[in-house]
């Protein structure tokens, strides 16, 4: 007989199989997940909007026959609207906002049979790589509750790492899937640009920087979920090249002998912690032991140019969001306001020039992948830092934004180029903190990433690792 404790660290695929075999009912999975959230959330502050009554009603009704029928799931409180449920974007201004429709991604998640039991914590507007909004308070890392979960999908990552649910929604505009995955010891794949839909509310976000997907414990869950949600929506401005076959079929498939370049130097020139360098070197050796060709490379990316152009898009996007919402000074956090003010100083010509610059960087980066199948880097330049590291004092409101550049210099390049990338939880440091490694693939080629990820998962399993705070 399967007990609630047995369920806590089964992946979503295994939980769905229990439902299909009638060994567990959806309401039992949902009730067990709710019990875990209620027990752990006072410590972690990962779930900010419970949806328990709604989830129980859904679990007791007729569910679609999907790959994850009956499995509990959490939504990040940003972009993915669920009709009739609050969506704050981490802003005090929007704490009572209730959308009247489902986003297309949520439509597809429901069609897959997932049951949403709540919404997760995030920084205001998803701006920072930590999850410490004034509205909800800090989300805490289950590996060390004094440290960051990363961001902006930190609530989702903390919930999955602690065993509240097997996987949770996340999105990524500069690393917001991969950063919290690295901080919390999870698998986090950012798909190719436009692989998942952003409609009906968005065509693309910040000229294509943002991608939707999830954080998971297993590789197969990430692949199967992407199969369930991927594909163009009506009216999309563009979409990703269709895969040759379902992504789940890539999990366990032979990746062949891959050509993998690895780099430990941040293209922006910021220092990289020895633990992060060590993790990449070990990952490179593991890949070599698995039969792949591995060599150190110089990506030759002009970090200063990239950072400057990315900042134009990011700050202009923030300014546009604040203008659209009619925000006045004092209604958002000081950093958010100051970033928006920065964005207002750029003109239309500045935005077009920045976009052209980043498109040229994308072309240059694509040429690297004519010679290599994958690029291996640290996910982050540091292990998970202490909460408060990204605070911004009144006299320096952009301090946290600048600190973010030191923490996460490796992830934004894939948002710029649109390429798929994954953070893999292969290693931990001497303090037992997760240290992620990032693999970047060719545009449109998640297949190779899933093949290698499954190989790494088998060679160095992480499924049995448990943080100090867990179900």
Q: Which residues are catalytic?
A: 76, 152, 176
For β-strands 72-76 and 293-296, DSSP reports them as unpaired
Residues 6+ positions from 274 with CB-CB distance below 8 Å:
none
How far apart (Å, rounded) are the C-alpha atoms in residues 421 and 178? 8
CB 440 within 8 A of CB 379: no
| Closest CA relative to residue 384, chosen from 208, 214, 165, 139 | 139
Residue 253 has which token pair? 């498939």
DSSP-assigned letter for residue 147? B
Buried b (16+ CB within 10 A) or exposed e, 381-394: bbbbbebebbebee
Residue 260 belongs to what H/E stretch?
strand 259-262
DSSP secondary structure, 116-141, as one string: EEEEE---GGG-SSS---TTT----B
Residue 428 has which token pair? 């931990």
Residues 6+ positions from 396 with CB-CB distance below 8 Å:
none
Separation of CA 327 from chain center: 27
| Closest CA relative to residue 463, chosen from 18, 8, 2, 4 | 8
Residues 6+ positions from 98 with CB-CB distance below 8 Å:
84, 85, 86, 87
H-only helix segments in 45-122: 52-60, 104-111
Residue 439 belongs to what H/E stretch?
strand 434-441
CB 194 within 8 A of CB 428: no
How far apart (Å, rounded) are the C-alpha atoms in residues 460 and 439? 16
How far apart (Å, rounded) are the C-alpha atoms in residues 96 and 430? 43
| Rg of the chain over all Cα atoms, to the nearest angstrom | 20
How far apart (Å, rounded) are the C-alpha atoms in residues 52 and 56? 6
DSSP secondary structure, 57-71, as one string: HHHHSPPP--TTTT-
CB 255 within 8 A of CB 448: yes
């Amino acid at each position: 007989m399967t007990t609630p404790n047995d369920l806590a660290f089964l992946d979503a695929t295994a939980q769905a199989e229990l439902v299909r075999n009638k060994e567990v009912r959806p309401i039992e999975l949902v009730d067990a997940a709710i019990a875990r959230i209620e027990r752990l959330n006072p410590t972690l502050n990962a779930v900010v909007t419970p949806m328990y009554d709604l989830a129980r009603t859904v679990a007791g009704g007729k569910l679609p026959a999907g790959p994850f029928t009956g499995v509990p799931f959490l939504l990040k409180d940003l972009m993915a609207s669920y009709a009739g449920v609050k969506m704050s974007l981490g802003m005090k201004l929007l704490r009572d906002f209730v959308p009247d429709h489902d986003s297309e991604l949520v439509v597809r998640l429901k069609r897959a049979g997932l049951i949403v039991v709540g919404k997760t914590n995030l920084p205001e507007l998803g701006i920072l790589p930590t999850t410490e909004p004034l509205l909800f308070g800090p989300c805490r890392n289950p590996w060390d509750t004094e440290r960051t979960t990363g961001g902006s999908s930190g609530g989702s990552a903390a919930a999955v790492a602690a065993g509240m649910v097997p996987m949770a929604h996340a999105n990524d505009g500069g690393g917001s899937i991969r950063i919290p995955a690295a901080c919390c010891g999870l698998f986090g794949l950012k798909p190719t640009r436009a692989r998942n839909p952003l409609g009906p509310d968005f065509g693309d976000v910040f000229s294509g920087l943002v991608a939707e997907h999830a954080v998971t414990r297993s590789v197969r869950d990430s692949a199967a979920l992407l199969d369930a949600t991927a594909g163009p929506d009506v009216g999309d401005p563009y979409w990703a090249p269709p895969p040759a076959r379902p992504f789940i079929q890539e999990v366990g498939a032979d990746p062949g002998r891959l050509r993998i370049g690895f780099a430990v130097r941040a293209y922006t020139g910021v220092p990289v912690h020895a633990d992060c360098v060590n993790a990449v070197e070990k990952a490179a050796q593991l890949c070599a032991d698995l039969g792949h060709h591995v060599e150190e490379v110089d990506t030759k990316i002009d970090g200063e140019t990239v950072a400057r152009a990315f900042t134009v898009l990011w700050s202009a996007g923030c300014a546009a969001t604040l203008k659209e919402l009619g925000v006045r000074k004092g209604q958002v956090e000081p950093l958010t306001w100051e970033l928006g003010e920065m964005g207002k100083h750029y003109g239309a010509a500045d935005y077009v020039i920045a976009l052209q610059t980043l498109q040229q960087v994308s072309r240059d980066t694509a040429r690297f992948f004519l010679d290599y199948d994958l690029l291996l880097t640290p996910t982050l330049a540091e292990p998970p830092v202490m909460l408060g590291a990204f605070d911004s004092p009144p006299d320096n409101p952009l301090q946290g934004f600048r600190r973010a550049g030191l923490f996460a210099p490796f992830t934004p390049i894939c948002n710029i180029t649109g390429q798929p990338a994954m953070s893999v939880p292969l290693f931990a440091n001497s303090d037992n903190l997760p240290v992620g490694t990032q693999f970047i693939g060719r545009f449109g080629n998640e297949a190779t990433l899933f093949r290698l990820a499954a190989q790494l998962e088998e060679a160095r399993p992480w499924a049995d690792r448990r943080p100090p705070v867990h179900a």
